[in-house]
Amino acid sequence: MTEITQKKSEKMDIVNGPLIRNMLYFVWPIMIANILQITFHMADTIVIGRFASQQGLAAVGTSGPVTIFFMWGLNGLSVGANVLISQLIGEKADEKVRNAVFSAVMIGMLFGTAISLFGFFAAGFLMKMISVPADIMHDAVLYLRLYFLTGTAIGVYDFCAAVLRADGDTKHPTLYLSIAGALNVLLNLLFVIVFHMGVAGVALATIISQYFSVFLIMRRLLSENSIIRLDLSRRLDLNLAGKMLRFGIPSALQNQLFAFSNMVVQSNINTFGTIFVAANTAANAVEEYVYVFVDAFPQASITFTSQMFGAGEHERIRKTTITAFFLCGIGAFLLGCLILIFGKELLGFFTNDPEVISTGMIRLRWVTFFLFINGLLDVIVGSIRGMGYAVLPTVVTLLGVCGFRILYLFTVFRRFPAPQVLYSCFPLSWILTLAIQSILWLRVYKKTGKEGSA
């Protein structure tokens, strides 16, 4: 038996193996990786809130929707690599897989660098666009400008991680994020507490740690002993790159539509003043821990469905979707309940201000608790994409999430300008879009089943 064959035998059999066990084995490293990614930003928030000022905390938080808009775009784009490479692995098209791996890394580098350049020079305009309060404008622009320098690193990392996930490997990306996350925390403490660098310090710590994570994951792909090894002697395969973008661009647009609607919400949040902005920042940091469940199972849904679609295992697609749907929903719902119970204590990690804590509980009650609905929605969308349909779920999301929220903010919220009314646009948009996407999933599943039997 060759070394590469031995390597393959050590990996989980996604197509034919035990579904629940494989899915849990697949998602737990993603959950840990999500927690570590949260730690990147949470370290910024805690250090600024505790050792700098509330203005600094608000500055870091108010830039969040803008950075998410662009960085989620990169993450969504990498879904194209995950879907295509997973399908090729299911088809056992080894040579195409090798070309696709190199093409994926190149796409991540090109798009990440483009976002870095744009964001660095447009930071001031972007902050004015979302009505950042004048007393935090300078710090917000500084933090955003520096943070955008991580664009290349995030693009390359996301695509490399997508390659590894497509082959069933979620452990190594988690390991690399744990190392980089620890580095980020140490640098935050050093730059802010010792050198008193404020928001520039937390941004610099993020830059260094993100590029270090890229170094680690690139080294892994270059030394892989399987078909997903990164071969730098290859050239960009335009045909495979085009297919990746065909899958990835709609996913990127969907992520950005979510983020854009959040930017519109953030601009309305900013009108309530600095205290409310700081409270929303702290609550959002707590909320991200629930999103650990919301994000992990949709990723499993994409990878498992894609491999099964490539292998022609249509019935297993249905079982995969149902399994991910219930595991994700139950886990996120239980976490939401815990957040409601211990919300004030958790917010206390980010601020000592009682008014900020009390205000932050509003978001936890009206948004965080209902995140399980978002998870169910993402599982359905991931399964649709894994079956080869990328545009339709994006159109539905455009109408159901982005369109609904903007319409709601300019109608209902304008008439009843209260925080609870503002935040309720999140769960309402998720419920509406989930209903439509579920109908779409049924139609796509039946159609792919007929095509496979033809």
**Residue 321: predicted pLDDT:** 95
Mean pLDDT (whole number) for 340-355: 89
pLDDT higher than 50, residue 448: yes
**Environment class of 120 (CB within 10 Å of its CB; exposed 0-12, middle 13-18, buried 19+):** middle
Segment among 1-10, 103-112, 125-134, 384-393 with least mean pLDDT: 1-10
pLDDT digit string, tens, across residues 16-29 = 888 999 999 999 98
Residue ranges of E strands in 95-235: none
Distance CA 111, CA 115 (A): 6
pLDDT at 8 over 70: no
pLDDT in the model for residue 422: 93
- What pLDDT is attached to residue 168? 86
Closest CA to 139 of 189, 199, 197: 199
Where b means 16+ CB within 10 Å and e means fewer, 29-46 reads: bbbbbbbbbbbbbbbbbb
Distances (CA, A) of 45 to 24, 49, 161: 31, 6, 26
| pLDDT of the residue at 344 | 93
Do the Cβ atoms of 43 and 204 come closer than 8 Å? Answer: no
Task: Pull the structure tokens for residue 336.
Answer: 């939401």
Q: Indicate whether 4 pLDDT > 70.
A: no
Query: pTM of the prediction?
Result: 0.77
